[in-house]
């Protein structure tokens, strides 16, 4: 199993450029592969920080206290409450987090001692990929703070955003599934309307990007234009043997 896992990892590594630069592409199937074998119940779960421990314990209370707030507004309100929490109350959650962290370190040491060298190498690679994913998310957040324009939407995305709230379904997944089916059966003339909206949105994005890049250069922050996302997601699965 471990050999097959590493084979999938190596299948995601490619050599490109005149200097033969190694690039690792994170595919959805590779992430699932890691998730299945190293984020399972056998691997200790990383404990939550003190704030998230507080959030999990108090979420229901504040949902009832502020029923008019949506999830995003509720998270902001709880975050403000946490920042204003008296030191002695905050220490209670910090002590819980520290206790759980100590237990996690012991469990993780025991778990890693049972891995063979190949599994240990694959686990390290998984952590490296997760760090890169977090770094990419941080960069995206920074670019948003700098006012980077939102990317253009596809015709299907525009269709979903317009009809999502009015679609019946018990869960978001069921709603999305229903909209996918509705989109497949949508007559071509109606689809053309959304195709044109997507084209207009693409032009909007290109114009706003040119203006934004000029603003960044004029303000002396041309360095943000050099941010690169090394991790890309491909829908195509790597051509490797299935795990046994």
pLDDT digits (tens, 9 = 90+) for 58-74: 889 999 999 898 888 88
Query: What percent of the chain is predicted at pLDDT more than 90?
Result: 34
242 phi/psi in degrees, rounded to 5 = -65, 150
CA distances from 54 to 88, 89, 94, 117, 206 (A): 13, 10, 9, 38, 43
Residue with tokens 């959805």: 28
Q: What's the chain's average pLDDT? A: 78
What's residue 81's pLDDT?
Answer: 93
Is the pLDDT higher at 233 or at 190?
A: 190
pTM for the predicted model, two decimal places: 0.47
Max avg pLDDT among 114-123, 196-205, 233-242: 196-205
What's residue 193's pLDDT?
Answer: 94
What's residue 169's pLDDT?
Answer: 67
Q: Is residue 183 over pLDDT 90?
A: yes
What is 149-219's CATH number, 1.10.3370.10, 1.10.30.10, 1.25.60.10, 3.40.50.740?
Answer: 1.10.30.10
Distance CA 241, CA 244 (A): 9
Distance CA 85, CA 91 (A): 10
Average pLDDT over residues 190-212: 93
Is the pLDDT higher at 123 or at 195?
A: 195
Average pLDDT over residues 212-227: 82
The DSSP bridge partners found for residue 24 are: 13
Residue with tokens 């603003």: 215
Helix (H, G, I), strand (E, B) or coil at 126: helix
Does residue 111 contact residue 42 with C-beta atoms inside 8 Å? yes
What's residue 228's pLDDT?
Answer: 58
Give the least confident one: 73-77, 119-123, 196-200: 119-123
Instruction: Burial-class residue 179 by CB neighbours within 10 Å (0-12, 13-18, 19+).
Output: buried
Mind listing the pLDDT tens digit for each residue in 149-174? 988 999 999 999 998 888 776 688 88
Residue with tokens 């979903």: 160
Question: pLDDT band for position 18 (50/70/90)?
Answer: very low
Mind listing the pLDDT tens digit for each residue in 111-125? 888 888 888 888 888
What's residue 223's pLDDT?
Answer: 78
Q: Count Cβ atoms below 10 Å from residue 204 Cβ, excluding itself.
A: 13
Q: Is residue 236 over pLDDT 70?
A: no
């Amino acid at each position: 199993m471990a050999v097959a896992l590493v084979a999938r990892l190596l299948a995601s590594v490619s050599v490109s450029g005149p200097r033969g630069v190694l690039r690792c592409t994170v595919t959805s199937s590779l992430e699932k592969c890691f998730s299945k074998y190293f984020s399972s119940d056998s691997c200790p779960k990383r404990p939550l920080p003190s704030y998230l421990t507080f959030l999990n314990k108090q979420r229901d209370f504040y949902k009832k206290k502020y029923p008019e707030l949506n999830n995003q507004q509720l998270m902001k309100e709880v975050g403000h409450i946490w920042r204003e929490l008296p030191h002695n109350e905050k220490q209670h959650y910090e002590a819980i987090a520290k206790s759980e962290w100590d237990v996690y370190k012991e469990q993780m040491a025991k778990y890693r001692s049972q891995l063979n060298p190949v599994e240990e190498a694959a686990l390290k690679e998984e952590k490296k990929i997760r760090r890169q994913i977090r770094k990419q998310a941080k960069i995206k957040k920074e670019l948003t703070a700098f006012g980077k324009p939102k990317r253009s939407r596809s015709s299907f995305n525009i269709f979903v955003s317009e009809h999502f709230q009015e679609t019946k379904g018990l869960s978001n997944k069921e709603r999305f599934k229903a909209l996918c089916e509705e989109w497949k059966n949508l007559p071509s003339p109606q689809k053309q309307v959304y195709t044109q909206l997507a084209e207009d949105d693409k032009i909007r994005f290109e114009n706003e990007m040119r203006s934004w890049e000029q603003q960044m250069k004029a303000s002396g922050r041309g360095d943000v234009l050099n941010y690169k996302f090394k991790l890309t997601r491909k829908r195509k699965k790597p051509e490797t043997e299935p795990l046994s």
